[in-house]
Amino acid sequence: MDTSGAGSETKDLPVHECWRHLRSSSVGRLALISHNKPEIFPVNYLPGDGTVIFRTGPGTKLDAVLEGGTVALEADGLNSYGTIAWSVVIKGVPEEIPPGEIPLEVPSPWEAGAKDHLVRITPTELSGRRFVIAPPAHWWPPQEASVD
User: What's the pLDDT tens digit per position in 67-95?
Assistant: 888 999 999 999 887 889 999 999 999 99
Q: What is the pLDDT of residue 98?
A: 92
Over residues 101-125, mean pLDDT: 87
Answer whether residue 125 shows pLDDT above 90: yes
Q: In the chain, what are the helix, strand and coil shares in percent, each to the nearest 5? A: 15, 45, 40
Predicted TM-score (pTM) of the model is 0.82
Over residues 103-122, mean pLDDT: 86
Which is higher by pLDDT, 119 or 133? 119
Instruction: Tell me the C-alpha distance between 61 and 40, whole Å.
Output: 9
Instruction: Tell me the C-alpha distance between 5 and 19, whole Å.
Output: 27
- pLDDT tens, residue by residue, 10-41: 899 999 999 999 999 999 999 999 888 999 99
CATH for 10-132 is 2.30.110.10
For the chain, give me the number of helices (H) and strands (E)?
3, 7
Which is higher by pLDDT, 80 or 5? 80
Which is higher by pLDDT, 137 or 68? 68
Q: What is the DSSP letter of 137?
A: H
Element (H, E) at 139: helix 136-139
Domain borders along the chain are 10-132
Q: Whole-number mean pLDDT of the chain?
A: 86
Which residue type is seen at 16? H
Percent with pLDDT over 90 in the chain = 54
- Considering Cα of 84, then 90, then 96, then 101, what sign does the dihedral take? negative
